[in-house]
Amino acid sequence: MNREEKNEVVSALQEKMQEFGNFYIADTSSLSVEKVNNIRRKCFESGIEMQVAKNTLIRKAIEGLEGDNSDIFAALKGQSAILFSKTGNGPAKLIKALRKGGVEKPLLKAAFIDTAIYVGDNHLDALVSLKSREELIGDIIGLLQSPAKNVISALKSSGGKIAGIVKTLQEREG
């Protein structure tokens, strides 16, 4: 691979990192071609893009991102596959599901979720429990609607009583 081809790969990786905003670096070494193809199929079904690249090219792509992302460089050893996803917890859920199916790998080397960096497979459970942006917005809307729903339900449940109170107040004023 010549320098121009390497630069093209680096820019393509960087574009995907910026487009998706979330990516995981995983170890798929020692897996058979059949198992890797199965993982790719599951990724496709889950809306996750999987790409294998050299660690030096991944490092250069990460260096081009905003902020200090040097913590992730320690994970760039051995064979690396990058999982790109729009949702922060998508690849973690996929890895967890694959492990339930009896597959030991892919191992999570590192994850980059909206500028937060997680290094090591021990963060997998925490990443699975992360909520997506849409889930957080839904929770906030639910919390905002909750007080209004309580007032409306109280008004409905005591319908006749409130009308009587309003009538009494009007009589006192008039």
Same domain for 147 and 113: no
Residue 78 amino acid letter: G
Same domain for 147 and 72: no
* Averaged confidence pLDDT in the chain: 85
pLDDT score at 17: 93
pLDDT score at 23: 95
Same domain for 39 and 63: yes
Cβ atoms 92, 111 nearer than 8 A: yes
Classify the phi-psi angles of 7: left when phi > 0, otherwise alpha if psi is within -120 to 50, otherwise beta.
alpha
pLDDT score at 156: 63
Tell which residue, 128, 83, 129, has the closest CA to residue 109.
83
Structural domain boundaries, residue 30: 3-130
Same domain for 117 and 85: yes
Same domain for 104 and 120: yes
Taking only the tens place, the pLDDT of each residue in 106-125 is 899 999 998 889 999 999 98
Same domain for 113 and 139: no
Per-residue b/e over 4-24, b at no fewer than 16 CB within 10 Å?
eeeeebbeebbebbeebbbbb
Bridge partners of 84, per DSSP, are 23, 49
Number of folded domains that form the chain: 2
The ranges of the chain with pLDDT < 50 are none
Domain with residue 17: its CATH number is 3.30.70.1730
pTM for the whole structure: 0.75
Question: What tokens were used for 156?
Answer: 């409905």
Q: Distance of alpha carbon 32 from its chain centroid, rounded?
A: 27
